[in-house]
Structure 1
Amino acid sequence: MQSQNRIALKEWGAVCAALEQGTQSVIVRKGGIHEGEAGFRVEHGEFWMFPTRFHQGAEQLQSEKSSLLSLPLAQEPATGKLNLALYSVVEAVLELKDPSQLLRLQALQVLNEETIQQRFEYKNPGLFVLLVRVFRLEHPFEVDQESRYAGCHSWVELSQDYATGNLQPVLNTEQFQEAGQAFQEVVASAQ
């Protein structure tokens, strides 16, 4: 793991809350409007999670997961602030091109079937699924929100590096191996 990092990935706060709880160990990405024809690319192997609330709603989550919206990472922080509490290390990447594989994602993440289908079909059919080992800070960094962070793009370069030394894994080794095995089952079915 890098000792410090300034790269962040924008993701819905509810998804960040699920990552923090350990109920999800994958990130399902399509990419933002400003990422051009190529769409999302896994440009970084480690990054801070940048919780967003734009386009996020209970109707896009699996019904039993809507309570995630009441958790701190899914809610707006103080005006003009951003809380960096989670750090992700990419362990594996799957690019899904076959829509018949989408149902297998339901058990791995909190978005509902319709939301996953919409993401898959947006622009060019396909999705990236990242298996991530998630770490958290007991005391998050409070970061000033900057106008350059706004917009529909996945990656953000923060104004400074933030140390990763005090991070603790969300899942222990055995729990993460179980999550990795579930991810590998999806990979195997996609081949």
Structure 2
Amino acid sequence: MQLQNRIAFKEWGAVCAALEQGTQSVIVRKGGIHEGETGFRVEHGEFWMFPTRFHQGAEQLQPENSSLLNLPLAQEPASGKLNLALYSVVEAVLELKDPSLLSRLQSLQVLNEETIQQRFEYKNPGLFVLLVRVFRLPHPFEVEQESRYAGCHSWVELSQEYATGDLKPVLDSEQFLDAQQAFQQVVVSAQ
């Protein structure tokens, strides 16, 4: 793991809350509008999670996960601040091109089937599924929101690097092994 990092990855606050709880260990990504013709690419192997609140709603989550919107990472922080509390290390990447496999993602993440289908079909059919090992800070860094962080793009370069030394894993080794095995079942199906 890097000792410090300034790269952040924008994701719905509800998904960040699921990652923080350990109920999800994957990120399902299509990419933002401003990511050009090639779309989303996994440009970084580790990054801070940048919780966003735009475009997310209870109707896009699996019904049993709608309460995630009430958790701190899914809510707007006070006075234009951003709380960096989570850090992710990419363990594996799957580029999913077969729509018949989308239903297998339901047990791995909190978005509902319709939202996953919409993401898959947007522009060129396909999705990236990133298996991530998630770590959390005992006391989040409070970062000033900057206008350059706005917009529909996945990656953000923060104004400074933030130390990763105090991070603790959300899942212990055995729990993460279970998450890896569930992800591997989707990968095997996709091949």
TM-score by length of 2: 1.00
Cα RMSD after superposing both structures: 0.3
How far is 1:80 from its partner? 1.0
Q: What is the aligned length?
A: 191
Alignment of 1:18-167 (within 5 A): 18-167=18-167
Residue 152 of structure 1 aligns to a residue whose secondary structure is coil
* CA–CA separation in structure 1 for the residues paired with 2:184 and 2:143: 35
Q: How far apart are residue 90 of structure 1 and its match? A: 0.1
Query: Structure 1 CA distance, aligned partners of 2:101 and 2:163?
Result: 38
Runs (4+) of structure 1 exceeding 4 A deviation are: none
1:139 counterpart letter in structure 2:
H
CA distance in 2, matches of 1:142, 1:56: 22
Deviations 1:75-109 (A, max 9, x none): 00012100000000000000000000100000000
Shift of 1:155: 0.1
Letter in 2 for 1:76: E
Instruction: Give the distance between the partners of 1:28 and 1:79, measured in 2 at CA.
Output: 29
- The C-alpha deviation readout for 1:15-60, integer Å capped at 9, x for no partner, is 0000000000000000000001111000000000000000000000
1:161 is paired with a residue of what secondary structure? strand
Distance 1:106 1:38 in 2: 26
**How many angstroms apart in 1 are the aligned matches of 2:23 and 2:31?**
23
Quote the residue 2:169 is aligned against: 169
Residue identity opposite 1:128 in structure 2: F
Superposition TM-score, scaled by structure 1 size: 1.00
Counterpart secondary structure, 1:9: strand
Percent sequence identity is 88
Where in structure 2 are there 5+ consecutive unaligned residues? none
C-alpha separation in 1, matches of 2:113 and 2:127: 13
Pairing 1:8–2:19 present: no
Which whole-Å CA distance do the structure 2 matches of 1:17 and 1:4 have between them?
22
Alpha-carbon displacement from aligned partner over 1:121-166 (angstroms, at most 9, x marks no partner): 0000000000000000010000000000000000000000000000
Structure 1 unmatched runs, 5+: none
SS in 2 for 1:79: helix
Counterpart CA distance in 1 for 2:145 and 2:81 is 5
